Amino acid sequence: MMAARVAAHPIGRIAEPEEMADAVGWLCSERSSFVTGTALPVDGGYTAR
């Protein structure tokens, strides 16, 4: 089952929890102060295929 999940991601692996947290941390930081009204997929390219 895990191999099928990994194979479904163009990046070839499942995200580490820290990678997901990095995206959240960036959105909560001043570095993203000009980002408004957009979706930020953090999915390893899964939805871009």
What's the confidence (pLDDT) of residue 26? 95
* CA distance linking residue 37 with residue 5, whole number of Å: 30
* CA distance linking residue 15 with residue 21, whole number of Å: 10
Supply angle C-alpha 40, 36, 20, rounded to 5: 30
Instruction: Write the DSSP string, 11-37.
Output: TSSPPPHHHHHHHHHHHTSGGGTT--S
Global pTM?
0.71
What's the confidence (pLDDT) of residue 49? 67
Q: What is the tens place of the pLDDT at every residue in 1-49?
A: 989 989 888 999 999 999 999 999 999 999 999 999 888 999 988 888 6
